[in-house]
């Protein structure tokens, strides 16, 4: 990492730590014996209205097992989702949810979209996976609720306070194969009126792992080069619970990532590519509620930069460099009216200004995006339902409103059915409209509609055995799918595709509690078709499958807890993936099996806990790629040491 970046973040983190300890000491010196009215804090709108939908939820315990992982690594290790990555730790990572494109999933941090203003997608390799209290994946999230880019769904990252906490501290160090090192500190302190959180992680990963080069005769064993990572992430959050039913939340997130960009294994590079990402993100949320009304104001400002350079391999001389500066200003206001215990009505408005400056644009560009919406929610005698409508304006241009409907009902004990329908939209991003040469300002928005139907069962058998099962069918059409195509001397984006995404998802999970042992098992399977319906000359529908979307994905997990020990084994399978539209079999990526195991020991001494955890990823050293030409790491070992301490407020509220 460059000296300027390192110095900046070193001083920033030191100042934040000093502030954290100052706040902690001051709070612990206060008289904590205060009486508080009983109140409830509601999460962001995007999270609150997602609770009835099909969710994949990762709680703090799941996040705690992977403190140094970015969001892409976390979702790979903990879910059955289709994640692709260009190499080792910290590489560009994206999600293809339900057969959609990376730009079709909206990622939100405390209710604010994180998707890039220029590419439209969120680089999961830039987002820390463990710095949130909760991570939710909403399959097929509604356009009326979330707005732009939800054909695949949405990911919600939430930071929430622990009001009974007086002081909590957790520090970890992780060392692993190929000189991987990560160190982090989490601290939370406060009273029943105020909570402060700090989270910081520093990581270095040379990513010099061996791999079999399948592009050379004999598939020789080589070692990855020019794939190193150095990154820093730091977040802090303030939570205020004030008299009169006021709640204020504010936070900041600063980050820097220096990443060497490796060439494809199929080539002999004559250039070293390097990328530096930096950013600062801030938000403020104010809530006021009464018995029947809930008001929320949300403001945020994101500033991000990307610098790219290339150097000759022979003499390390600089051959080219470029940069992108982007910013996003977000404002939102909403009002929820609980007309009765079973019905609520919410209305609100969103306003966003996106700005970008880069040498690839003729001039700095900006776009205004705004929306008005109405959402309703019903919970009456077991019937749960919601509906919404959203009208968007992009630079003053209107389009058809987005509409969504959802319902679930328990048909018999412990068994319920659910269904949803919504239309969706993705507005062309700034690169697609303004890139020179090739940008197309006349692009239409991608649009479409889709729905779900599913069953869910939860049961308790023999007191010690609990189980759940769910089956979900999904289908959606996406029109005007944007694709970059060659047009003479350069490439240009065009609305040429009509895509149908359809399939089904099944999950089984159970827990068995014995006298001293707790056993957990889960099985997840997904079948996904992502079909290019614009290729009318092709008769066999599976010959229309889009690139990098496997038909079959499977994940099984088994875990055991016994006293101070715990262990987990995960087995996963990804089916064959095409890498071209013409399905060249010589360029297809074969399916692969992966196995990960870990074992941990917990030593508790009064209010302190020491955890030692050994993890082995890719246990059987499988050779595989998620992006063609970019081999993934083989078997790796990680040793993690964690120390935590917590002091609870014991005064009655």
Please report whether residue 586 resides in a domain. yes
Lowest mean pLDDT: which of 208-217, 307-316, 519-528?
A: 307-316
The fraction of the chain above a pLDDT of 70, given in percent, is: 91
Region 442-471 average pLDDT: 92
Closest CA to 303 of 331, 324, 317: 324
Mean pLDDT for all residues in the chain: 90
Largest CA distance in the chain: 76
pTM of the model: 0.92
Q: Are 523 and 468 in contact (CB under 8 A)?
A: no
pLDDT given at position 651? 59
Region 319-329 average pLDDT: 94
Region 203-221 average pLDDT: 94
Per-residue confidence band for 650, with pLDDT thresholds at 50, 70 and 90: low
3-state SS class at 622: coil
DSSP state of 427: -
Q: Domain total for the chain?
A: 1
More confident residue, 141 or 52: 141
pLDDT tens, position by position, 271-283 = 899 999 999 999 9
3-state SS class at 346: strand
Q: Are 203 and 89 in contact (CB under 8 A)?
A: yes
Please report whether residue 407 resides in a domain. yes
Region 545-563 average pLDDT: 97
pLDDT given at position 43? 55
Please report whether residue 185 resides in a domain. yes
Region 38-44 average pLDDT: 47
More confident residue, 563 or 34: 563
Per-residue confidence band for 463, with pLDDT thresholds at 50, 70 and 90: confident
By residue count, the chain amounts to: 653
pLDDT tens, position by position, 100-153 = 999 999 999 999 999 999 999 999 999 999 899 999 999 988 899 999 999 999
- Give the chain's count of helices (H) and strands (E): 6, 34
Nearest-angstrom CA–CA distance, 328 and 300? 8
3-state SS class at 355: strand
Please report whether residue 556 resides in a domain. yes
Q: Is the pLDDT of residue 478 over 90?
A: yes
Q: Which DSSP string corresponds to 124-146?
A: GGGSBSSSSSEEEEEET--HHHH
pLDDT tens, position by position, 573-631 = 999 999 998 899 999 999 999 999 999 999 999 999 999 999 999 999 999 999 999 99
Please report whether residue 653 resides in a domain. no
Please report whether residue 134 resides in a domain. yes
Region 201-214 average pLDDT: 95
pLDDT given at position 25? 41
Q: Are 373 and 336 in contact (CB under 8 A)?
A: no
Closest CA to 328 of 151, 107, 155: 107
CATH number at residue 102: 2.40.170.20
Q: Is the pLDDT of residue 457 over 80?
A: yes
- Which element (helix H / strand E) includes 280? strand 271-289
More confident residue, 459 or 545: 545
DSSP state of 17: H
Q: Is the pLDDT of residue 460 over 50?
A: yes
Nearest-angstrom CA–CA distance, 70 and 90? 7
pLDDT tens, position by position, 560-588 = 999 999 999 999 999 999 999 889 999 99
pLDDT given at position 47? 64
Per-residue confidence band for 50, with pLDDT thresholds at 50, 70 and 90: low
Which pairing describes strands 180-190 and 165-176: parallel, antiparallel, or unpaired?
A: antiparallel
pLDDT tens, position by position, 517-547 = 999 999 999 999 999 998 877 878 888 999 9
Region 189-211 average pLDDT: 96
The fraction of the chain above a pLDDT of 90, given in percent, is: 79
Lowest mean pLDDT: which of 20-34, 191-205, 217-231, 311-325?
A: 20-34
Q: Is the pLDDT of residue 403 over 60?
A: yes
Per-residue confidence band for 269, with pLDDT thresholds at 50, 70 and 90: confident
Per-residue confidence band for 184, with pLDDT thresholds at 50, 70 and 90: very high
Closest CA to 348 of 34, 39, 45, 14: 45
Nearest-angstrom CA–CA distance, 492 and 532? 19
Structural domain boundaries, residue 168: 3-648
pLDDT given at position 52? 62
More confident residue, 163 or 53: 163
């Amino acid at each position: 990492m460059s000296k300027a970046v390192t110095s900046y973040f070193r001083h920033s983190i030191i100042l934040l730590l000093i502030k954290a300890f100052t706040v902690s000491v001051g709070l612990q010196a206060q008289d904590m014996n205060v009486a508080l009215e009983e109140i409830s804090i509601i999460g962001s709108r995007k999270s609150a209205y997602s609770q009835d939908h099909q969710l994949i939820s990762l709680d703090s315990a799941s996040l705690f097992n992977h403190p140094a992982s970015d969001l892409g690594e976390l979702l790979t290790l903990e879910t059955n989702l289709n994640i692709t990555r260009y190499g080792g730790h910290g590489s560009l990572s994206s999600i293809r949810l339900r057969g959609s494109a990376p730009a079709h999933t909206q990622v939100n941090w405390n209710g604010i979209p994180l998707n890039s203003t220029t590419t439209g997608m969120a680089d999961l390799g830039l987002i820390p996976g463990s710095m949130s209290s909760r991570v939710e994946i909403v399959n097929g999230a509604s356009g009326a609720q979330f707005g732009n880019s939800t054909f695949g769904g949405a990911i919600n990252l939430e930071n929430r306070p622990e009001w009974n906490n007086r002081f909590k501290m957790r520090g970890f160090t992780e060392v692993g194969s190929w000189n991987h090192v990560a160190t982090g500190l989490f601290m939370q302190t406060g009273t029943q009126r105020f909570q402060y959180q700090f989270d910081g992680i520093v990581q270095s990963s040379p990513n010099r792992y061996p791999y079999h080069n399948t592009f050379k005769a004999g598939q020789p064993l080589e070692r990855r080069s020019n794939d190193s990572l150095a990154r820093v992430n730091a977040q802090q959050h303030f939570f205020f619970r004030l008299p009169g039913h006021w709640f204020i939340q504010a936070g900041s997130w600063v980050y820097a990532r220096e990443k060497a960009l490796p060439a494809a294994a199929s080539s002999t590079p004559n250039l070293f590519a390097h990328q530096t990402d930096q950013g600062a993100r801030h938000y403020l949320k104010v809530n006021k509620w009464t018995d029947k009304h809930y008001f929320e104001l949300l403001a945020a400002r994101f500033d991000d930069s990307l610098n790219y350079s290339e150097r000759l391999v022979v003499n390390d001389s600089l051959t080219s460099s470029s940069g992108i500066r982007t910013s996003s200003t977000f404002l939102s206001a909403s009002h929820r009216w609980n007309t009765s215990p079973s019905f609520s009505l919410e209305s609100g408005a969103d306003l966003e200004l996106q700005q970008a400056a880069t040498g690839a644009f003729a001039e700095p560009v900006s776009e205004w995006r705004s929306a008005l919406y109405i959402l309703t929610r019903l919970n009456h005698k077991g019937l749960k339902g919601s509906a919404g409508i959203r009208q968007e304006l992009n630079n003053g241009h209107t389009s058809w409103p987005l509409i969504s409907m959802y319902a679930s009902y328990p048909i018999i004990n412990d068994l319920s059915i659910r269904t949803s329908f919504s239309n969706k939209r993705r507005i062309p991003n700034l690169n697609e409209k303004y890139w020179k040469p090739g940008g197309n300002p006349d692009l239409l928005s991608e649009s479409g509609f889709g729905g779900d139907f599913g069953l869910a069962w939860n049961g308790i058998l023999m007191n010690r055995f609990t189980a759940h099962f769910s089956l979900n069918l999904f289908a959606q059409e996406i029109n005007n799918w944007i694709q970059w195509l060659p047009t003479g001397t350069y490439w240009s984006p065009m609305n040429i595709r009509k895509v149908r995404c359809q399939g089904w998802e099944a999950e089984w999970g159970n827990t068995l509690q014995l006298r001293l042992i707790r056993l957990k098992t889960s099985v997840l399977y997904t079948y996904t078709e992502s079909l290019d319906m614009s290729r009318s000359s092709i008769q066999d529908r599976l010959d229309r499958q889009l690139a990098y979307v496997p038909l079959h994905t499977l994940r099984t997990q088994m875990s055991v807890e016994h006293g101070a020990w715990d262990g987990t084994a995960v087995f996963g399978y990804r089916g064959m993936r095409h890498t071209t539209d013409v399905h060249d079999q010589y360029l297809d990526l074969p399916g692969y099996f992966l196995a990960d195991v870990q074992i941990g020991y917990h030593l508790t001494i009064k209010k302190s806990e020491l955890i030692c955890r050994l993890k082995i990823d890719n246990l059987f050293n499988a050779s595989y790629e998620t992006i063609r030409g970019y081999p993934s790491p083989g078997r790796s070992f990680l040793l993690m040491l964690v120390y935590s301490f917590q002091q609870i407020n014991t005064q009655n509220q």
